[in-house]
Amino acid sequence: MYEFRIEAADKAELYRQLIEAADALTAGEPDAIANMANVAALLWESLPDLNWSGFYRNVGGELVLGPFQGRAACIRIPFGKGVCGTAAATLEPQCVEDVHAFPGHIACDSASASELVVPIVEDGRLIAVLDLDSPTPARFDAADVEGCVTLAQLLAPRLSGGSKGGHGELKNS
């Protein structure tokens, strides 16, 4: 049984604890979907003010819904469309204060007001994107981006089947 009590006075410590917990949850687990599911649940339980936490996987050059916590979501997102598709196309984190002002925003949940999407990349290849949504405008900041980028770097070999400590079985184009 896993039980993590993540409590921190500042975001740097919060993300340090989150990454430590994600490391414990995913170390040695060969199944990418299981790892995504546990991390989505960990983020959902640990980060305040979220209405969605999860992953979109790169399957055949488009984003396909992966494990998540929150309301039902869009199933497929083309690269370059919306916040997730933009992160996938550019391989750059997208921290959006007001999703309604984002060109081409895809409204999977009308309650979402801000969003953070971080690409998970191994050897220059997109594996998935980590997607966090909040009902509060400007919920995410540079500390959230930094923490989620570090988390994505930890997860990349564990979701890709790469040789750097991961044993994931997820195959992407």
pLDDT digits (tens, 9 = 90+) for 36-47: 999 999 999 999
> Are the C-beta atoms of residues 152 and 39 closer than 8 Å to each other?
no
State the total domains in the chain.
1
Average pLDDT, the chain: 89
Q: Is the pLDDT of residue 93 over 50?
A: yes
pLDDT number for residue 108: 73
Least confident among 4-13, 66-75, 108-117, 125-134:
4-13
- Domain membership of residue 169 (yes or no) is no
Give the integer Cα–Cα distance in Å for 141 and 57: 24
Give the integer Cα–Cα distance in Å for 38 and 34: 6
- Domain membership of residue 146 (yes or no) is yes
User: What are the backbone dihedrals phi and psi of residue 153, each rounded to the nearest 5 degrees, phi first?
Assistant: -65, -40
Q: Which residue has the tokens 């060969």?
A: 30
Give the integer Cα–Cα distance in Å for 98 and 119: 19
What value does the mean pLDDT take over residues 152-157? 98
Instruction: List the CATH number of the domain containing 130.
Output: 3.30.450.40
pLDDT number for residue 2: 55
Q: Is the pLDDT of residue 164 over 70?
A: no
pLDDT number for residue 4: 59
AA letter at 157: P
Report strand pairing: 52-59 vs 62-70: antiparallel
What's the domain range around 54? 11-160
Q: Using 50, 70 and 90 to split pLDDT, how confident is the model at 171?
A: very low
Q: How far is CA 30 from CA 1, 46, 57, 108, 145, in A?
A: 18, 24, 16, 30, 27
Distance of CA 139 to the CA centre of its chain: 15
What value does the mean pLDDT take over residues 10-39? 95
Give the integer Cα–Cα distance in Å for 38 and 40: 6
| pLDDT tens-digit series, residues 99-153 | 988 877 777 767 888 999 999 999 999 999 999 999 999 999 999 999 999 999 9
User: What are the backbone dihedrals phi and psi of residue 104, each rounded to the nearest 5 degrees, phi first?
Assistant: 75, 15
pLDDT number for residue 123: 94
